[in-house]
Structure 1
Amino acid sequence: MICDATLATGLPGVYAAGDVAQGAAAARHALDPAAARPLVPVPYFWSDWYGHRIQFVGTPRAEEVVVAVPAEAGFTALYRRGDRIVGAFTVDRPREIMKYRRRVAARGSWAEAVAFAATTTTAA
């Protein structure tokens, strides 16, 4: 079924939800269609390779990339365009990636993202 950016299908009161649609957003929009706003999804992928979890959110198109290496396993790379974080790549840092995803979705500040990385890693 085809839907618009608010997950509306074109049939009154019917919204898309499932594997590729955001169920919580569909429910909010179905309960209050007048407050429905277009969704702007943040690209995300992950893979497990040779015992390591690789995850990426956002876009790699950036003006600057900063790599931070934690005291323990893995690393984080942050992607900047202007004064905003636009992407994050992590290896073996699964607890951090969704925090960066929220920052990318909110068009978060680059300075705040780097400051957060500094609390969990050592900048390199």
Structure 2
Amino acid sequence: MCQKHLGFNYCFDDSYCKICKGYCCKGEGYVFLEQSDIESIAIYLNLEIEQFIQIYTRKFYDKIVLANVKINGEYTCCFLNDGLCEIYPSRPSQCKTFPFWDSMKNLSIEELKQLCPAIKK
């Protein structure tokens, strides 16, 4: 089903996330974590919050972000495994709201499709 959000001229079919091999999880950038994200992912992974933070996050200035790993010269999210998100049911808020970010509102459909093939006009 193609989800649409007010103010955006495209829709997004999240069923594609199961087969896309992580387009949005690769490349340079950061996934900023809110406290609720940290707690939710730690519970999902059956870890104490401090364990989760130590193993899977990094500091970016005063923010906590998911760690990236470099594979074949390309940065990917530490939870992307064989093209699938290992924490999809508990993924961070930033991931849940993709591709409906204000920074993407003015991109052309061609630019958007390069970022995510599940975006449709």
Scaled by the length of structure 1, what TM-score is found? 0.24
Give the structure with the larger strand fraction.
1
Structure that is richer in helix per residue: 2
Q: TM-score, normalised by structure 2?
A: 0.24
Rg larger for: 1
The answer to which structure, 1 or 2, has the higher relative contact order (CA under 8 A, 6+ apart) is 2
